[in-house]
Structure 1
Amino acid sequence: MEDPARARRVVEELARAAGFELVGVTGAEPLAEGGERLRRWQEAGMAAGMGYMRRPAELLCDPRRLQKSARSVISLGVSYYPGEHPENPGDGGRVARYAWGRDYHRAIKQRLLGLRRDLEARLGCRVRARAFTDAVPLLERSAAQRAGLGFFGRNSCLINRDMGSYFFIAELLVDLELEPDGPGEGTCGRCTRCMDRCPTGAIKAPGVVDARLCISYLTIENRGEIPRPLRPLVGDWAFGCDLCQEVCPYNRRKAKRSRWPEFSAEAGAGPYLEITEVLGIRSEEEFERRFAGTPLTRPGRAGLLRNCCVAAGNLRLEAAVPALAGCLREDPSPLVRGHAAWALGEIGGAERELSEAARREADPWCRREIELALARAGVG
């Protein structure tokens, strides 16, 4: 049987050679602390519409539910930090940094599979493993914290003292006995910058984020409308939000630019979407052609157009009025039409288009959005 300490050293050597900056190991026992934290969060109703996060805590905190033979969890971290956001060109929908490049699920999964093959070759034995990143029912941040990758910050992100929080977490569940690392340690001290900066007040307590208020949830996982009171607070974010990470002192001092070309702005959509261009996408096929292979497919066509409508309204983007009017007139999704109406009401000057839409709109929710937009313009 392989010596656990030596095997652990081999894991680190090979993982770093594969491009992972952070490497940690923990046992495959249930993540008791993370499970209890999840249970309290679920009971408070903060999971919003994320059904996968409402699964029983006992399922989400037990690595062996995913692989019965697992004896160790190898947690890995890789920076996705592509640099600072350039200034908004004036017509852009802001994109969270993790989504500037290619789909991280695919990029990381391939390197994890390669790492497994390398382990088998170096250790001279078959390794039963399961590789994943953000794609299975497991509290991955809790596993990574117990494996020593970082500590939970007040914004609930895992923070590494040497590189901040702009990193993806990935795991290999293996049937190897590996020498474990100690849990990650650190503190935010008295700093509350993330809590103070969140526009919607989503960070309810240190480490507790209410998804119902989180801009990242509202623009990515949310499949319905963005609640009217929250729309002005979304600002120009078209996909995700980085605000609580941007103000974190660890990121301001320690963030390391990613060495993976897949995560660069040149590899994908980059830091901004051209709002008027996105608002012109009418079919799922066109949407897939434009964004396939990037994280931006996650909210779906209607969700991304909804977000761009809200960003256009908040920017008072007059140049987007023809595209928004086109959405109101032609888009097959009531979700898009309703948010286009809201945006037109915020920008102003589109009373004729709104009045015409009110006469033909059959969807009750969408018709109400049009009526409220007209009321804002002083019509009706």
Structure 2
Amino acid sequence: MGPFLEQDLKQLAENIKAWGKALGFQQVGIADIDLSKHEKFLQQWLEKGYQGEMDFMAEHGMKRARPDELLPGTVRVISVRLDYLPTEAGFARSLKNKNKGYISRYALGRDYHKLMRQRLKKLGEKIKAQCPLEFRPFVDSAPVLEHALAEKAGLGWTGKHSLTLNRQAGSWFFLGELFINLPLPVDQPVEEGCGSCTACITICPTQAIVEPYVVDARRCISYLTIEQKGAIPEEFRALIGNRIYGCDDCQLICPWNRFANLSVEEDFQTRQQLHQQDLLDLFAWNEQSFLANTEGSAIRRIGFERWQRNIAVALGNAPYSDEIITVLSATLPNATELVAEHIQWAIDQQKAKALDDGIEDRTTQRLIRSVEKGLPRDA
């Protein structure tokens, strides 16, 4: 690669940000690749086993903190933000009605991976048309410390729940990266804005945020309902409530999300067959129905068996119903071993249902009150 004048690189960086926004990204920043300060924390996190069954987190060692080992020649990372909050988020309604399934808001629309990767590729090709360039796009597809890179690129700061927070956009956005071998001028990190707030730590139903900025994935509802392949540990089942795919509690309670923007992406808008649907209706799907209704959705990756497992847990946490016990009992004989274990637990829960729904219900009520006060706004 030939030499570039500093002024040329500065102008190119400005052009890249304009091109990125023209492609639909809400924010574009540029970072260097020095993530050495994160290596110790990553190693400690892995040594404590906080990654759970996510073996891919440990397989690549410290490559996650060394972008030039992932793509030799990389000297900069272009980090992008894409807002995803759907217009019909319906947070409070979905959490309040325990007979309906709650799905994390990012998964109500189309899977974001392909959309973001295609746009990042277009951005790379646009840059390459101006100068020689080696590039590679990443969207949760390789060992990349995306939040650390977003922080370095000035997209926001890392909140105590370990997600990236932005003063104008909260945390309802996806991140993507474009690794490049061009020494562009870098952006500066922004000032941290969490202060003494610990709302996300306090509200977590399973207390998965074991200390500020550290999440034990093995306790996280998103992990338990998505990444966990086997049985969900019994100690967490009642705390999961009606969350059948992911969890948004730590984002919902965050004061910065009152500034969150609604997504303009049609692909991220709510699919009605997934939104505020009765648990019994969702449980009635066969595998063919599951595949049809989750086509193009991130939900499909967990497969039909784990989908049934999750809904069985939610049915166990629903208010007492003769119909629920009847449906669960009828499904039990032909269920897989994994699903059968959770169906039996749900039946036992239904039979022992008491007036007080316990800790999970009280924390959820607090969360609902916060959402109904306008967090986030307009959603």
Q: TM-score, normalised by structure 2?
A: 0.85
Counting only pairs closer than 5 Å after superposition, residues 74-93 of structure 1 correspond to structure 2 as 74-82=78-86, 83-88=89-94, 89-93=97-101
1:306 and 2:314 are equivalent in the alignment: no
1:221 and 2:227 are equivalent in the alignment: yes
Q: SS of the counterpart of 1:24?
A: strand
Counting only pairs closer than 5 Å after superposition, residues 102-141 of structure 1 correspond to structure 2 as 102-121=110-129, 123=130, 125-141=131-147
Aligned pair partner of 2:75 in 67, 71, 83 = 71
> Which residue in 2 is equivalent to 1:54?
58
Per the alignment, do residues 345 and 265 of structure 1 end up closer, same or farther by CA in structure 2, a change over 3 Å counting? same
Conserved in 2, the CA contact under 8 Å of 1:159 and 1:165? yes
Conserved in 1, the CA contact under 8 Å of 2:320 and 2:351? no
Q: Give the letter aligned to residue 175 of structure 1.
A: N
> Which residue in 1 is equivalent to 2:341?
338
Please list every run of 5 or more consecutive structure 1 residues that lacks an aligned counterpart in the other structure: 350-380
Provide Cα deviations, 1:128-159, integer angstroms capped at 9, x if missing partner: 21112111111111111111111111111111
Aligned pair partner of 2:216 in 210, 231, 241 = 210
Per the alignment, do residues 157 and 269 of structure 1 end up closer, same or farther by CA in structure 2, a change over 3 Å counting? farther
Conserved in 2, the CA contact under 8 Å of 1:279 and 1:327? no
Conserved in 2, the CA contact under 8 Å of 1:161 and 1:186? no
Per the alignment, do residues 127 and 242 of structure 1 end up closer, same or farther by CA in structure 2, a change over 3 Å counting? same
Q: Give the letter aligned to residue 157 of structure 2.
A: F
Q: SS of the counterpart of 1:7?
A: helix
Instruction: Determine the C-alpha separation between the residues in 2 that align with 1:107 and 1:336.
Output: 33
Conserved in 2, the CA contact under 8 Å of 1:85 and 1:271? no
Q: Give the letter aligned to residue 301 of structure 1.
A: F
Instruction: Determine the C-alpha separation between the residues in 2 that align with 1:328 and 1:254.
Output: 46
Shift of 1:325: 2.2
Aligned pair partner of 2:162 in 156, 165, 178 = 156
Aligned pair partner of 1:99 in 84, 104, 107 = 107
Give the root-mean-square deviation of aligned CA atoms. 1.8
Conserved in 1, the CA contact under 8 Å of 2:98 and 2:242? no
Q: SS of the counterpart of 1:329?
A: helix
1:22 and 2:27 are equivalent in the alignment: yes
> Which residue in 1 is equivalent to 2:367?
none
Conserved in 2, the CA contact under 8 Å of 1:19 and 1:78? yes
> Which residue in 1 is equivalent to 2:350?
347
Instruction: Determine the C-alpha separation between the residues in 2 that align with 1:223 and 1:217.
Output: 10
> Which residue in 2 is equivalent to 1:180?
186
Provide Cα deviations, 1:318-347, integer angstroms capped at 9, x if missing partner: 23334322331212x211111011111111
Q: SS of the counterpart of 2:102?
A: strand
> Which residue in 2 is equivalent to 1:353?
none
Provide Cα deviations, 1:232-257, integer angstroms capped at 9, x if missing partner: 10011000000011000001x21110
Shift of 1:58: 1.6
Instruction: Determine the C-alpha separation between the residues in 1 that align with 2:276 and 2:142.
Output: 29
User: Identity of aligned pairs, percent?
Assistant: 35
Provide Cα deviations, 1:18-37, integer angstroms capped at 9, x if missing partner: 1111211012x341122222
Conserved in 2, the CA contact under 8 Å of 1:49 and 1:222? yes
> Which residue in 2 is equivalent to 1:324?
328
Q: TM-score, normalised by structure 1?
A: 0.85
Conserved in 1, the CA contact under 8 Å of 2:99 and 2:242? no
> Which residue in 2 is equivalent to 1:363?
none
Q: SS of the counterpart of 2:217?
A: coil
Conserved in 2, the CA contact under 8 Å of 1:76 and 1:171? yes
Per the alignment, do residues 290 and 204 of structure 1 end up closer, same or farther by CA in structure 2, a change over 3 Å counting? same
Q: Give the letter aligned to residue 305 of structure 1.
A: Q
Bigger shift: 316-325 or 46-55? 316-325
Provide Cα deviations, 1:112-134, integer angstroms capped at 9, x if missing partner: 1222222234x2x3432111211
Conserved in 1, the CA contact under 8 Å of 2:99 and 2:319? no
Conserved in 2, the CA contact under 8 Å of 1:153 and 1:207? yes
Per the alignment, do residues 43 and 184 of structure 1 end up closer, same or farther by CA in structure 2, a change over 3 Å counting? farther
Per the alignment, do residues 308 and 248 of structure 1 end up closer, same or farther by CA in structure 2, a change over 3 Å counting? same
Conserved in 1, the CA contact under 8 Å of 2:151 and 2:157? yes
| Residue correspondences, number | 342
Q: SS of the counterpart of 1:41?
A: helix
Instruction: Determine the C-alpha separation between the residues in 2 that align with 1:193 and 1:138.
Output: 27
